[in-house]
Amino acid sequence: MNEYLKLVMTQFPKYFVDLRELAVGPKKFLTDRCVPSEESLNRAFIFFGISLLIVAIIQIASLAKRSHLFLNSVIFIASVGIIPLTTILALWLAWKIVGGKAKFRELFTCSTYVSAFVVLIALTFDVAGEVIFQVVNPDDYKLILEGEDVDRWFLAGQNVSNGLSIYGVSLGFIWFIDAWGAYRALNGVSSMRSVIAFLLYSLLNLLLVVLAIFYFFLSFGI
């Protein structure tokens, strides 16, 4: 336990350096970090934990202002808890099907970094869109927070927010394509098999996310 705390204290100052390197060069960063060792996995967990802490701090303020606090909180917990797990499982299955050589621990380590970064991207554009919406259409924004039915289609703030969301998704997709090269390198497969693995992963992940969220909401009786 003491060794783990020492590792946390050592890695925390390096978090933003790692975040920058992961953002600008995901393939190189992941290839270097995703090795089958306990230290590598611990560092990935610490990175993921710090990322979730940042997300939680920002989201707490955002969720507190919204109506249906419980429902929004459940959705947030589901998104940060379920999606990383389904991502890892879908990746492992996809690469196994195409004959990938990577060990589960390597895939798990990579996916821990990837999931943390994707959550941060999603949060960044979500918060940016919400702030712009609040500034451009403050009265309508207040009504929405109070649970009132507001037609958003013709609101400038909503249109800008939607545009940011689309940009964020596009940026995240481009980044993930670059990061996918690290998975291919770890698995030692051809370009064709890598493409097949990506398609399989996309289908499996979508299926697993839908099933997991359905089960999660069913468990809460929502």
- Residue 95 within a domain: yes
Range(s) of the domain holding residue 210: 2-113+167-220
Residue range 42-72, pLDDT digits in tens: 888 889 888 888 877 776 655 555 545 455 5
Q: What share of the chain is helix, strand, coil (3-state, %, to 5)?
A: 85, 0, 15
- Residue 120 within a domain: no
- Residue 73 within a domain: yes
- Residue 63 within a domain: yes
Q: What percent of the chain has pLDDT over 90?
A: 25
pTM of the predicted structure, to 2 decimals: 0.78
Residue range 97-140, pLDDT digits in tens: 999 999 888 898 998 899 888 888 877 887 787 778 778 877 77
Chain centroid, CA 199 distance in Å: 19
- Residue 186 within a domain: yes
Round to whole Å and give the CA distance between 44 and 175: 18
- Residue 201 within a domain: yes
Count of domains in the chain?
1
- Residue 187 within a domain: yes
Q: How far is CA 173 from CA 56, 76, 107, 163, in A?
A: 23, 21, 19, 15
Backbone phi, then psi, for 80, in 5-degree steps?
Answer: -90, -15
